[in-house]
Chain A
Amino acid sequence: MLPTSLLLLLLTFPFFGGVIVATMQRPSRNASAVVAGGVMAACALLVAVCWPVVASGDALRDYNAWLPRQGINLTLRLDGLAWIFAMMVMGIGLLVVIYARYYLSPKDSAPRFFALLLFFAGAMNGMLLSGNIIVMVIFWEMTSLISFLLIGFWRSNAAARDGARMALVITGAGGLCLLVAMLIVGYVAGSYDLDRVLASGPALRAHPLYMPALILFLIGAFTKSAQFPFHFWLPNAMAAPTPVSAYLHSATMVKMGVFLLIRFSPIFGGTAEWFNIVAGVGMVTLVVGAMVALFRHDLKGLLAYSTISHLGLITALAGIGSPEAIVAAIFHVMNHAVFKAALFMAAGIIDHETGTRDIRKLSGLARAMPFTATLAAFAAASMAGVPLFNGFLSKEMFFAESYAWHGGSHFDDALPYIAVLGSAFSVAYALRLFFSVFFGPPATDLPKEPHEPTPWMRRPAELLGALCLLIGVLPAITVGPILHVGALAVLGDDLPEYSLALWHGVNAALIMSVLAVGAGILIYAPFHGFIARGPEGPPFIHRLRAARVFELFMIYATWRQPRRLLHVLGTTRLQVQIRVMILMGVMGAIYALWSGGAELYKPRLTGANPVFALIWIVGAGCAIGAAYKAKYHRFAALILLGGAGVMTCVTFVWFSAPDLGLTQLLVEIVTTVLLLLGLRWLPRRRADMVDNFSLRVRVRRRGDLIIALVCGAGVAAISYTVMMMPAGNLASDWFLQHAYSEGGGTNVVNVILVDFRGFDTFGEISVLAIVGLTVFALLRRFRPAMESNELTTQQRIQNEYDDAADGRSRGDTVRDYLMVPSVIMHWMFPVIILLAAELFFRGHDLPGGGFAAGVTLAIAFLLQYLAADVTWVEDRLRILPVRWIGTGLLVSATTGMGSWIFGYPFLTAHSQYVTLPLVGQVPAATALLFDAGVFMLVVGAVVIMLIAIAHQSLRWSRAREKAAEEEN
């Protein structure tokens, strides 16, 4: 028995490889191709190693819990069907890597290309290996995303971007439908595990949700496999580099839809709905795709429609759903992958060596490129279903199935005719592809002189071409066992008797084959000139493009309609938006109170302390005064704001929250200084400017006043109600009881912050760091308004006085004014630093802590800036706030991660007291280290904000001096 971890290795290996390739240097085409090819080969080997288990009809399984409670687990499961597809993904992946190495030009970023290719292979692999249907959808969507990046690989090309977007929208939307379908299936089956889902077919088919689930499931499969009417994204995806088209859009990704159909046919299939919808859509796609392909002039466009048509054929087989049809479907998936990848590679070679993909320009290439012509002949013959090539075998099985009886409806009776019609067109476009490109007179107006490519560019395609012949001649030996195992995995005991052989005698299928080939020649031979002269697409209906309909719809749904809605519902006015937000909040609160039936307490003034009442008479007065003055008297408003802040601070202290009081006081200082610094850059606003508000403005102001009063009254009522309700908080009791015994600190608030809820604090200091850096970045680029650039009135008066007096130079007056304060501020510097240290070290046991200490130290720095001018301070004191921030964050994070070493989760704290000489007992919890990180970060963030604003005036005074010099 193989180790099941092999599957996990197989799943993760391409992703690891992708990351490695992505980090390589750009010009390393060879190195990245070698690594990518090596990963593909290794994965193919891993898949091959699993063969013995799979061949015995068993599945290899591996279980890794992910979200076990939701039933979503990383269950890996490799059975015969998945084995075939995985082998195709890795095998053709290897060939595509080799091919792409020579296809990419040195200008393309090879590491990006190969990394994406590996990620894609990994996502495909994950989807195939998933034994959990939800995980499968996740990988399914991942392939959509990566295919978006691959189609848009040449991102400067508008067609590539549009094609990529279209593919993403269609397949992504399909993936969402699939997700819903899988949720329904999981609900009906009672599990998301694939094994249990596959066993619950009868229950699903009898369930009332069967139809919705089926429709959603089919939308998912049809969008991915480009079935009519979702087919149009595939031709537009041809803007991708040809290796991508060969890999994603012929061999692998588009096969996921049919993989899904085959995989789930045992549980969804067997009903009339399944037969009619799936076989019907498949047949329509088969005929429409083949017809359109015949009329395309672009080589890749022809191949894209041919791919659509062949996917239709496979879909039709899955829809027919009989055991024989499933065998044929799996067989045709393999054959199509081989011959279509070869053809795409040949198309890429032709494009690469001649400079054009236009079939009308290309002609007679067989002389210049004999090897390419031969391999293209093999692959095209296989595509057309010519005997001796692999496509013939699976197509014959298809004919036999379409001829067989499945219930005798009119649609069933029509199947053989539709099949022959579609195949006739298929023969015709194969003839057109081959003869117009490789035969005829040598082309004259090609952008490049055609010649064979470097040998290794055509080796992969040659190998695939040879496989067409080999499988076609010796099917039983080459693919017999693989096909058997794949079909066994789907059908189990229903596995039919079938024979893989070239010759079955003259039967209906052979006659249909002959008819199709004959009809194809009859279509091509007389009309090929007419087709070449015609438009791009079938006559009469070539203007009807599904892609255009889709684009019109997208423009309507994502541009016109939203703009109209925005026009009707939206506004660019901030005030209106805030008003709506506040009103919604008010209504939400009213609703909650109404339905909750809150009990209202009668207001009582018992036990009120007159001092406290006085404090808040002043506080409320300050608040209202600030509101009143903020427009014309900013400075006064700022002082009043500070008054309200101080009252808040007193309240905290009053009601047993020393930590809050301390922090509020410190932050108050910093905020006020910050706003003071900002005042300088605001436009002048005088009370006499306006007061004759229009009626509309007066009504609006009245309305705002009412809103404000309602908000205030509401919040007051709620807080009063809560405060009167009996207390009791179990979480708080727990924190109080365990703060010292487990957190090792007696200051419970600090223990909560740095220990119990350390992760929250970590997030919070990260926010602080981000804000600090944002402020710094904004102010680095920002220039205050030019009109604020003048000297302030005070500065002008001082300068005039200094200029007029003898023996004084500019700036002396302000220095005289600030003489006493600045000496005090200089001398207080070490004292405040000591205070910060005291606050920091006692924080775990007494009010204080990293926040308070950090802000204190920042204030110490700030005072120096106030005491002297910026240049004086920065000559003597070099503060590097960005380093403080970075170090702080690093210290906190490493402290948190330190607990991993001891096997505890992130930020588990350990506490102990250490006796230091002279100082005495010091709490030495790891939480202290964490708090040190908080401390450093707070210092850095606060200082960076203040300095960034303070530097503005410095910059402007420099700019002013420069301007004055230039004037002189």
Chain B
Amino acid sequence: MELILSLAIGALVASGTWLVLRPRSFQVIVGLCLLSYGVNLFIFSMGRLRMAAPPILSKGAEVDPAAYTDPIPQALVLTAIVISFATTALFLVVLLAARGFSGTDHVDGRERDL
């Protein structure tokens, strides 16, 4: 399981990195989205993988930390998901504005020779 997930993270990060390095702004946005999936899964995996042990306690009973998965990476990733949505939205709008101003969707705001 760990191997599959780490390979998946690798695939997401590699695709994201490739796209972030591309010249068209839409590519960069898609790349950032892929990178954020990869990074979120990476942070999440820091808590180790547990199945059927969500950090939802039962009321009143004595809490045994070993019976639950690690909640901290989950809390971190939850905020990361929301923030990455916000940055995606912001980038999209900056992209549209830059496109309106400069007439091109190149990340430098002007066409470069190929």
Contact = CB atoms under 8 A, between A and B. Distances in A.
A681 B93 contact: no
Given A675-B29, A675-B92, A949-B93, A748 B56 contact: yes
Interface string B62-79: 010100111110110111
Nearest to B53: A656
A724 B2 contact: yes
Residue of A608, A778, A782, A846 with highest tally of chain B CB at under 10 A:
A782
Given A641-B30, A771-B86, A785 B75 contact: no
A675 B8 CA distance: 24
Contacts of B71: 732, 735-736, 739, 748-749, 752
Q: Chain A's interface: helix, strand, loop or mixed, by majority?
A: helix
B55 A753 contact: no
A723 B49 contact: yes
Nearest to A585: B17
Contacts of B82: 663, 667, 764, 768, 851, 938
A740 B79 contact: no
How extensive is the interface on chain A, given as a class?
35 or more
Contacts of A712: 10-15, 17
B94 A778 contact: yes
A582 B105 CA distance: 22
Residue of B27, B63, B71 with highest tally of chain A CB at under 10 A:
B71
B17 A572 contact: no
A885 interface: no
Nearest to B48: A727
Interface in A623-650: 623-624, 626-627, 630-631, 634, 637-638, 641, 644-645, 647-648
A711 B70 contact: no
B41 A648 contact: yes
B58 A746 contact: yes
A779 B101 CA distance: 12
A19 interface: no
B81 A654 contact: no
A671 B88 contact: yes
A717 B70 contact: no
Interface string A637-680: 11001001101100110111111100110010011001100100
A630 to B, nearest CB: 4
Contacts of A623: 11-12, 15-16, 34, 37
Contact of B74 (A654, A731, A733, A749): A749
Contacts of B58: 746
Interface stretch (A354-362, A599-607, A804-812): A599-607
Contacts of B112: 573
A498 to B, nearest CB: 70
A719 interface: yes
A748 to B, nearest CB: 4
B60 to A, nearest CB: 8
B50 A779 contact: no
Interface stretch (A73-81, A136-144, A376-384, A700-708): A700-708
How extensive is the interface on chain B, given as a class?
35 or more
A683 B105 contact: yes
Nearest to B20: A578
B19 to A, nearest CB: 5
B88 A627 contact: no
Contacts of B97: 778-779, 782
A718 B13 CA distance: 12
Q: Chain B's interface: helix, strand, loop or mixed, by majority?
A: helix
B56 A616 contact: no
Given A660-B77, A713-B10, A757-B75, A683 B104 contact: yes
A626 B75 contact: no
Given A719-B42, A723-B48, A771-B90, A582 B4 contact: no
A740 B21 contact: no
Contacts of B105: 682-683
Interface string A586-623: 00000000000000000111011100110010011001
Given A604-B3, A712-B17, A638 B86 contact: no
Interface in B22-59: 22-24, 26-27, 29-31, 33-34, 37-38, 40-42, 44-59
Given A582-B21, A623-B15, A675-B92, A941 B86 contact: yes
Contact of B30 (A638, A737, A785, A846): A638
Contact of B15 (A707, A708, A729, A772): A708
B57 to A, nearest CB: 4
Given A660-B74, A846-B56, A574 B108 contact: yes
A519 interface: no
A627 B54 contact: no
A822 to B, nearest CB: 25
B88 A711 contact: no
Contacts of A630: 19, 22, 24, 26-27, 30-31
A42 to B, nearest CB: 50
Contacts of A768: 82-83, 86
Given A749-B74, A778-B93, A608 B68 contact: no
Nearest to B68: A736
A674 B84 CA distance: 13
A329 to B, nearest CB: 60
Given A723-B49, A767-B86, A785-B100, A715 B92 contact: no
Interface stretch (A238-246, A291-299, A386-394, A690-698): A690-698
A502 to B, nearest CB: 76
B96 to A, nearest CB: 5
A624 B15 contact: yes
B18 A704 contact: yes
Interface in A746-771: 746-749, 752-753, 757, 760-761, 764, 767-768, 771
A759 to B, nearest CB: 12
Contact of B22 (A631, A657, A746, A752): A631
Contacts of B16: 623, 627
B84 to A, nearest CB: 8
B1 to A, nearest CB: 6
A560 interface: no
Contacts of B31: 627, 630
A749 B78 contact: yes
A389 to B, nearest CB: 68
A202 interface: no
A683 B88 CA distance: 19
B37 A722 contact: no
Contacts of A578: 20-21
A641 B113 CA distance: 29
Contacts of A671: 33, 85, 88-89
Interface of B: 1-24, 26-27, 29-31, 33-34, 37-38, 40-42, 44-60, 63, 65, 68-72, 74-75, 77-79, 81-83, 85-90, 92-97, 99-100, 103-105, 107-108, 112, 114
Given A715-B38, A753-B79, 11 more contacts: A609-B1, A616-B11, A630-B19, A630-B24, A675-B29, A681-B96, A729-B70, A739-B71, A746-B58, A778-B94, A782-B97
29 contacts: A575-B108, A578-B20, A578-B21, A616-B7, A619-B8, A619-B11, A620-B11, A626-B19, A627-B30, A637-B26, A655-B69, A656-B54, A660-B81, A664-B40, A678-B96, A708-B15, A709-B14, A711-B13, A711-B14, A712-B13, A712-B15, A719-B9, A719-B42, A732-B72, A733-B65, A737-B63, A767-B83, A779-B93, A785-B100
Interface of A: 572-575, 578-579, 582, 603-605, 607-609, 612-613, 616, 619-620, 623-624, 626-627, 630-631, 634, 637-638, 641, 644-645, 647-648, 651-652, 654-660, 663-664, 667, 670-671, 674-675, 678, 681-683, 685, 690, 693-694, 697, 704-705, 707-709, 711-713, 715-720, 722-724, 727, 729, 731-733, 735-737, 739-740, 746-749, 752-753, 757, 760-761, 764, 767-768, 771-772, 774-775, 778-779, 782-785, 787, 845-847, 851, 938, 941-942, 945, 948-949, 952
List the 9 shortest-distance A-B pairs measured between CB atoms, nearest first. A712-B14, A716-B10, A620-B11, A720-B6, A708-B18, A627-B15, A748-B55, A733-B65, A712-B10
